[in-house]
Amino acid sequence: MTPTRILVLNSGSSSVKYQLLDMRDRTRLAVGLVEKIGEDTSALAHTPLLGENAGRKRVQETRFADHAEALKAVAEELTADGIGLDSPELAAIGHRVVHGGLKFSAPTVITDEVMAEIERLVPVAPLHNPANITGIKTAQALRPDLPQVAVFDTAFHTTMPEYAARYAIDVETADAHRIRRYGFHGTSHAYVSRKTAELLGKTPEEVNVIVLHLGNGASASAVAGGRCVDTSMGLTPLEGLVMGTRSGDLDPAVIFHLERVAGMSTDEIDTLLNKKSGLVGLCGDNDMREIRRRIDAGDKQAALAFEIYIHRLKKYIGAYSAVLGKVDAVAFTAGVGENAAPVREAAVAGLEELGLAVDADLNSVRSDEPRLISPEYARVAVAVVPTDEELEIATQVYDLVSK
Ligand code: ADP
């Protein structure tokens, strides 16, 4: 029997999201999430998606001291469903790794050298790569015989031309510290741009797409003929769009000002810009549903936060229209992009000169399927394309190990 199952792990500093998929028919066998690893009470929510318990979520609240304990508990849950990790059907474990630097432009089987490079990138991804490394080591200990494959969030963006990736700062300083635009959410941008081409009945090579990944983190990318040519996140996921808790673009001098005038430390500024800014900083809420509810109730602060969010989005749509020259589609994805019709409507409003328009009826349809929301006459298609990073990671991993 050829093994066809892939376990996908997305390890954060205190969490692990996982999915077990069977790539024969690209179905999900189980999904789950462990949170608050290392805290007094951790939580494991596990849902089998086949067999007699399909769809029945099981929640455990107990302490998992570290990722190793958490993954052991996940393995036990999978065993209880008859799909344990000791199965000969498991082909590989795929890991989402946030920062792959410039070296990794494709999914990569993790060797000692690959691991050393992921570790070398910790200074440019201090929040993310250490957690990914822990996840990999834990999975290696669990199944040392299996291929462990890294799929990098930065990989899709390695095709950006040098003039889009470089910041206009002293070249020697930039190179010494590997400072440049790397971009993130690459797995999603790759998947959604490809799916958008499919929706238009074209190959990825035939179309230019602007992808707007609007989740709690948010990023835009310009994709020309299937290759990323620009993206809004930079050295870290802080740059670009207004996000749930991150500021996105600002004058870098704001940082010196906060240091010199407000007396804030580097760590305090880091926390301010990453955790206390964006929508939450502007109005106290980062959930778009709540913000819309407040706007409907006449809340001016929420309305201004929404306007700032939309203004930034428009600027990126305009910028990437110019970067691409010709745009075939704008695709909205992730939590906000897939669900918040008012965001889609407002982001495109007034951009008729760029060939963009949204049909109100189509925009209000709720669906899990990729769909067009632009009127037939519009020159540029506007699409809602649900992202599926886990499926994309599993597909890339399976393609690599089944060759
Ligand atoms: P993450 O970046 O954490 O993966 P998601 O892509 O899951 O984020 O997006 C989460 C965000 O999506 C929430 O913070 C919320 O603002 C937004 N969201 C989710 N569902 C809806 C909805 N039905 N309407 C409007 N916004 C939504």
To the question of whether residue 146 is assigned a binding role by annotation, the answer is no
Are 124 and 180 spatial neighbours (Cβ–Cβ below 8 Å)?
no
| Predicted local confidence at residue 354, as pLDDT | 96
Residue type, 233: M
- The b-or-e profile of 282-291 (16+ CB within 10 A means b, else e) is bbebbebeeb
CB of 340 sitting under 6 A from ligand 1: yes
Q: Compute the distance between CA of residue 271 and CA of residue 254 in angstroms, rounded to an integer.
A: 14
Q: What tokens were used for 190?
A: 């790759």
Residue 381 main-chain phi, psi, to 5 deg: -75, 140
| Predicted local confidence at residue 217, as pLDDT | 93
| Predicted local confidence at residue 207, as pLDDT | 98
| Predicted local confidence at residue 281, as pLDDT | 98
- Residue 288 CA to ligand 1 center (angstroms) comes to 7
Q: Compute the distance between CA of residue 377 and CA of residue 157 in angstroms, rounded to an integer.
A: 32
Active site residue 153: yes
Helix (H) or strand (E) holding 18: strand 16-22
CB of 288 sitting under 6 A from ligand 1: yes
Q: What tokens were used for 372?
A: 């067009």
| Minimal-distance CA residue to ligand 1 atom 22 | 339
Distance set, CA 245 to CA 278, 305, 363 (Å): 5, 12, 26
Q: What order do you get walking across the sheet with 5-11 strand by strand?
A: 58-62, 42-48, 27-35, 16-22, 5-11, 90-97, 148-152, 108-109
| Predicted local confidence at residue 51, as pLDDT | 86
| Predicted local confidence at residue 23, as pLDDT | 97
Q: To test ligand 1's pocket by mutation, which of 19, 287, 306 has the most ligand atoms within 8 angstroms of CB?
A: 287
Distance set, CA 169 to CA 89, 120, 125, 159, 278 (Å): 51, 23, 20, 21, 26
Residue written as tokens 């081409």?
197
Three-state DSSP class for residue 219: strand
| Predicted local confidence at residue 12, as pLDDT | 85
Q: What tokens were used for 100?
A: 């792959």
Q: Compute the distance between CA of residue 26 and CA of residue 391 in angstroms, rounded to an integer.
A: 8
| Predicted local confidence at residue 13, as pLDDT | 81
| Predicted local confidence at residue 123, as pLDDT | 86
To the question of whether residue 371 is assigned a binding role by annotation, the answer is no
The model's pTM is: 0.94
Active-site residue, from 22, 66, 145, 153: 153
Q: Which residue segments constitute the domains of the chain, with CATH numbers given?
A: 5-152 (3.30.420.40), 202-389 (3.30.420.40)
Question: Comparing C-alpha atoms, which of 1, 2, 44, 46 is closest to residue 20?
Answer: 46
Query: ∠ CA 37-40-46 to the nearest 5 degrees?
Result: 45
Residue 239 main-chain phi, psi, to 5 deg: -80, 155
Question: Comparing C-alpha atoms, which of 188, 189, 187, 207 is closest to residue 197?
Answer: 207
| Predicted local confidence at residue 124, as pLDDT | 84
Region of 334 please: left (phi>0), alpha (psi -120 to 50) or beta: left
Three-state DSSP class for residue 278: helix
Residue type, 372: L
To the question of whether residue 90 is assigned a binding role by annotation, the answer is no
Three-state DSSP class for residue 222: strand
No. of helices (H) and no. of strands (E), the chain = 15, 14
| Predicted local confidence at residue 162, as pLDDT | 98
CB of 334 sitting under 6 A from ligand 1: yes
- Sign of the alpha-carbon dihedral angle for 128, 131, 135, 136: positive
| Alpha carbon of residue 212 to chain centroid | 11
| Predicted local confidence at residue 287, as pLDDT | 95
Tens of each residue's pLDDT in the chain, 403 residues: 789 999 999 988 888 999 999 999 999 999 999 999 999 999 999 999 988 899 999 999 999 999 989 999 999 999 999 999 999 999 999 999 999 999 999 999 999 999 999 999 998 888 788 989 999 999 999 899 999 999 999 999 999 999 999 999 999 999 999 999 999 999 999 999 999 999 999 999 999 999 999 999 999 999 999 999 999 999 999 999 999 999 999 999 999 999 999 999 999 999 999 999 999 999 999 999 999 999 999 999 999 999 999 999 999 999 999 999 999 999 999 999 999 999 999 999 999 999 999 999 999 999 999 999 999 999 999 999 999 999 999 999 999 999 8
Ligand 1, residue 218: give the atom nearest the CA.
Answer: 2
CB of 278 sitting under 6 A from ligand 1: no
Q: What tokens were used for 343?
A: 């965001």
